[in-house]
Structure 1
């Protein structure tokens, strides 16, 4: 892996992207989005995860993350992805209205077979491509990119209309899914 994509300074914020294998649209169902949101909240409360921005799209999630305790950021990310993978698989298997159950399990099983780090299934792509946010310009560009994602995708007209994003937090709306640390851009 290139040095460009490593978490070197544990005291900085990083822009990361979590992507579902094969860019599968897993987050079209609220249940899966809610599993991820609940897991983020758990990591905030119990693992020292700082979240400055997020946006959950259908096949990927953009985040700006940091940490405020001793656990390394890459360890928190690893634990978050592992835990959500297990929860997603259980939900896929038990959710009565999941019409894509067999299809999803097949693709996640095939992805798992090609990766020696997995026993059976793989849901997340392994890389996160962390980009250190070490300048105001980089912070501004990443915040804008994250919040404009649903607008560019044609899902909403303005960023703060999108429920699964921190754009509401930055716009000062009281109805938001998760608390974030507002960073200056």
Structure 2
């Protein structure tokens, strides 16, 4: 992996995207999005993640994160987040009697795992993350990009209307996960 895509600065703020293998639209179901939300809450509370912004789209997520000085290393934090969410979501898919796409999704995840020596049976997330360290105006620009994703996709008219995003936090309406403001460093 190129050093361009490593989280080398432990004090940095990073934009991170990760997608479901084959861009499967898993997050059309609330149940699966809630697993990501709960995992983000856990990482904030227990792993030292500083969450500045996020959005969960149908087949990918965007995060803007940092880490507390006493927190887990970025690589460990991201690895644990992806490993936990993938196993929990896979279990939820398998156990969901209303999941009409179950066999197809599992088949696609099995096929992805066969192509990746790091996995044995299933692969949920794509292997790469391509974190980008943000500085200065880039932080606000990426936050705006993250928040506008649901608007561009036609899900909502205004970013703060989308439930699975930090846009409502920034609009003063509260959110599903507490985030740290990129503007003043305060929890919102």
Residues of 2 paired with 1:89 and 1:172: CA distance?
A: 34
Q: TM-score, normalising length from structure 1? A: 0.96
In the TM superposition, structure 1's runs of 4+ consecutive aligned residues that sit over 4 Å from their partners are none
Q: TM-score, normalising length from structure 2? A: 0.95
Residues 49 and 71 in structure 2, CA contact (< 8 A), matched pair in contact too? no
SS at match of 1:17: strand
Query: For residues 112-151 of structure 1, what are the structure 2 equivalents within 5 Å?
Result: 112-134=113-135, 136-151=136-151
| Structure 1 match to 2:176 | 177
RMSD: 1.1
Query: For residues 71-150 of structure 1, what are the structure 2 equivalents within 5 Å?
Result: 71-134=72-135, 136-150=136-150
What is the CA-CA distance between 1:3 and the residue it aligns to?
2.0
What is the CA-CA distance between 1:184 and the residue it aligns to?
1.8
Residues of 2 paired with 1:83 and 1:70: CA distance?
A: 18
Give 5+ residue unaligned stretches, structure 2.
none
- Deviation digits for residues 45-65 of structure 1 (CA, Å, limit 9, x no counterpart): 111111000000000000001
Residues of 2 paired with 1:125 and 1:77: CA distance?
A: 13
| Structure 1 match to 2:46 | 46
| Structure 2 match to 1:18 | 18
SS at match of 2:86: helix
Q: How many residues align?
A: 183
**Would you say 1:63 and 2:63 are equivalent positions?**
yes
Query: For residues 153-172 of structure 1, what are the structure 2 equivalents within 5 Å?
Result: 153-172=153-172
